[in-house]
Chains A and B, each alone.
Chain A
Amino acid sequence: MKIDYNFAFFDEGSKREIRRATLKAVAIPGYQVSFASREMPIARGWGTGGLQLTLSLTGTEDVLKVIDQGSDESVNAVNIKKLVKKTTGVLNTDDTNKATLIQSRHRIPEKSLKDKQILVLQVPIPEPLRLVEPSEYKTKRLHAENEYSGAWLMLFEQIMKYGNMSTGADHPVKVYDRYVMAPSPIPRFDNPKMDYSKALILLGAGREKKIYAVPPYTKVKSLAFEDYPFEVESFEDKECRLCKATGVFMDELIDEDTKETYYQCNDTSYCLDRLNNRN
């Protein structure tokens, strides 16, 4: 049975509305723009925000890459690719370089992004102040008044409890010296990649109905106290067991047989690319 989908699943009106919200987000770096989040054939919380952005942006010439926590082959990534391909017919790729559109959950690829690429990040909780202020009305006011004590307080608490800013993921950033933004649960390791990124970065939260953006070449600074500087996860002295890469974000794994700890690139396509190009 063949079902006729509209190109990119949505009707033109829906896509236009998402694009309008996106344009507004680009015009106000780091500011969360509300949009009418659509029902999707995948469950909310599984990247519907990112997927709506991707679908609204996809044109016939686009080449799409989808990654889920560094992997192009996870069930989630594969399902999203299938849906976009089925409704648009665009090409898929694992190669960061070849992609025009990259949808990702929890990572920014290791390979530097380029001009004219668009990175779409899936966001579960877009509001960096949510844990200190449950009311949306109030957080909107706090953003308007540039009042970010709550975000600093959360970092202070972490230092009190763990001795360092061990947020791990979703470490808040200040965009264009104005809005504090949740970069989505990417590791701190990826935060610096947002700073003056050549690619446009769009962030979409389906359940929370928010779109926000870091335009290309925009200052993005991770929050840090004067006496506790921002630090990324360190993989010093570690190398990928497969491709021997260093200075990338790695997964820590345990060898079943020897019970020894080893490291492997978290970005699988990066690792594969290195392996293929070696010989």
Chain B
Amino acid sequence: MESFEKPILKVNNLRKQFGNGCKKCEDMSEDVLDKNYCPECGTVYACQDVSFEVYNGEILGVVGESGSGKSTMMQCLYFDKEVTKGDAYISNYKDGKSNIFKESSQQKRYIRNNVLGKVYQNPILGLKMDFSAIGNIAEKLIASGNRKVDEMERRGNELLEHVNIPLFRSKEEPKNFSGGMQQRVQIAKALSNNPPILLLDEVTTGLDLSVQANVLDLIKKIQRELGISMIVVSHDLAVIRMLADRTIVMLNGKIIEKGLTDQILEDPQKPYTQQLVHSLL
């Protein structure tokens, strides 16, 4: 499949470091690469030369232990954090010919609003808790230039219905909602401008099992009905197994293994992945 089709998202050598680095770590010697920080200067290399592709309509899973760099990678892709180096291309944006990390902040805002949608692990980061649920959705519509209230209200209600939020609660503030509802509002918001790519960071973490199942069903439904490509980050292999077509495994800021999800879960090649799979199943 990969050889025929052009990826919708291509990420090359994404690096995100916290700290300025030093002589010892600038050449990324084994010492540094083994951990995710430099023992000499303390610089953290949260993502080290991460490269991968996402194809049309597929769900790419990202697994790895806490601190392995999953959220950092997602934050870089959504421009919440600036990358240290690397480049990324989205086929729906300037024909995939422009490195999105190098775009102006206006263009980055455009990409956030129109090409990407993101669901944060912590709903406080993804929603304005003091604004109505429908206002939260309208925020993205407004940001992409919509100035028609009735149209935005219709679209907002349609999306809320799609994620099973009862219409009579659409004008309520999400701070009064349960965790599962908040995640569903985030999903509705992320979908508002029909983005071709959705970034989901630990959407089900911290939710009750039955609520988790609910949100997972919703994600599957969205993929089925809308054919949106997604990156799904989770440290829960059950979530990955249920959702992801392909999966990448991260450790210390690096991708150590990638492949079809079933393959990775049934027949992991790297010792770390074997350990991860066995400890979690």
Chain A positions within 8 Å of B, measured between CB atoms, are 132, 141, 145, 147, 149, 152-153, 156-157, 159-161, 225-228
User: Please, how many angstroms separate the alpha-carbon atoms of A145 and B148 in the complex?
Assistant: 22
Q: Please pick, from A141, A145, A157, the residue contacting B135 in the complex, using a CB distance under 8 A.
A: A157
Q: Please pick, from B128, B150, B171, the residue contacting A161 in the complex, using a CB distance under 8 A.
A: B171
Contact yes or no, A227 B150, CB < 8 A: yes
- In the complex, given contacts A153-B131, A156-B142, A156-B149, what are 19 additional A-B residue pairs having Cβ atoms less than 8 angstroms apart? A145-B105, A145-B106, A147-B143, A152-B142, A153-B135, A153-B138, A153-B142, A156-B135, A157-B132, A157-B135, A160-B132, A160-B134, A160-B135, A160-B171, A161-B171, A225-B147, A225-B148, A225-B149, A227-B148
> Contact residue range for chain B?
20 to 34
B241 at the interface (CB under 8 A from A): no
Residues of A within 8 A of B138 (CB): 153, 156
Contact yes or no, B150 A145, CB < 8 A: no
Contact yes or no, A226 B109, CB < 8 A: no
User: Please, how many angstroms separate the alpha-carbon atoms of A152 and B148 in the complex?
Assistant: 11
Nearest-neighbor residue (CB-CB) of B151 within chain A: A227
B58 at the interface (CB under 8 A from A): no
Contact yes or no, A226 B147, CB < 8 A: yes
Residues of A within 8 A of B150 (CB): 227
B9 at the interface (CB under 8 A from A): no
Nearest-neighbor residue (CB-CB) of A157 within chain B: B135
Contact yes or no, A147 B134, CB < 8 A: no
B87 at the interface (CB under 8 A from A): no
Q: How many A-B residue pairs have CB under 8 A?
A: 44
Nearest-neighbor residue (CB-CB) of B171 within chain A: A160
B152 at the interface (CB under 8 A from A): yes
B95-150 at interface with A (beta carbon < 8 Å)? 105-106, 109, 128, 131-132, 134-135, 138-139, 142-143, 147-150
Nearest-neighbor residue (CB-CB) of B144 within chain A: A149
Contact yes or no, A228 B149, CB < 8 A: yes
Residues of A within 8 A of B134 (CB): 160
B158 at the interface (CB under 8 A from A): no
Known: A145-B106, A149-B139, A152-B142. A157 touches B131 (CB 8 A): yes
Q: Please pick, from A132, A152, A160, the residue contacting B128 in the complex, using a CB distance under 8 A.
A: A132
Chain B positions within 8 Å of A, measured between CB atoms, are 105-106, 109, 128, 131-132, 134-135, 138-139, 142-143, 147-153, 171
Residues of A within 8 A of B105 (CB): 141, 145
User: Please, how many angstroms separate the alpha-carbon atoms of A226 and B142 in the complex?
Assistant: 12
Known: A147-B109, A157-B135, A160-B135. A152 touches B153 (CB 8 A): no
Query: What are 19 inter-chain pairs, A to B, with CB distance below 8 A?
Result: A145-B109, A149-B139, A149-B143, A152-B147, A153-B131, A153-B135, A153-B139, A157-B131, A160-B132, A160-B134, A160-B171, A161-B132, A161-B171, A225-B147, A225-B149, A226-B147, A227-B148, A227-B151, A228-B149
Contact yes or no, A160 B109, CB < 8 A: no
Which 10 pairs across A and B sit closest by C-beta, in order of nearness? A149-B143, A152-B142, A149-B142, A157-B135, A225-B149, A226-B147, A156-B138, A226-B148, A225-B147, A153-B139
Residues of A within 8 A of B143 (CB): 147, 149
Q: How far is the CB of B281 from chain A (nearest CB, A)?
A: 44
Q: How far is the CB of B30 from chain A (nearest CB, A)?
A: 39
Residues of A within 8 A of B131 (CB): 153, 157
User: Please, how many angstroms separate the alpha-carbon atoms of A157 and B139 in the complex?
Assistant: 10
Residues of B within 8 A of A147 (CB): 106, 109, 143
Residues of B within 8 A of A228 (CB): 149
User: Please, how many angstroms separate the alpha-carbon atoms of A227 and B147 in the complex?
Assistant: 8
User: Please, how many angstroms separate the alpha-carbon atoms of A227 and B150 in the complex?
Assistant: 7
Q: How far is the CB of A173 from chain B (nearest CB, A)?
A: 16
Q: Which of A145, A149, A161, A227 has the most CB of B within 10 A?
A: A149
Residues of B within 8 A of A132 (CB): 128
Residues of B within 8 A of A160 (CB): 132, 134-135, 153, 171
Nearest-neighbor residue (CB-CB) of A158 within chain B: B135
User: Please, how many angstroms separate the alpha-carbon atoms of A151 and B24 in the complex?
Assistant: 49
Q: Which of A132, A147, A227 has the most CB of B within 10 A?
A: A227
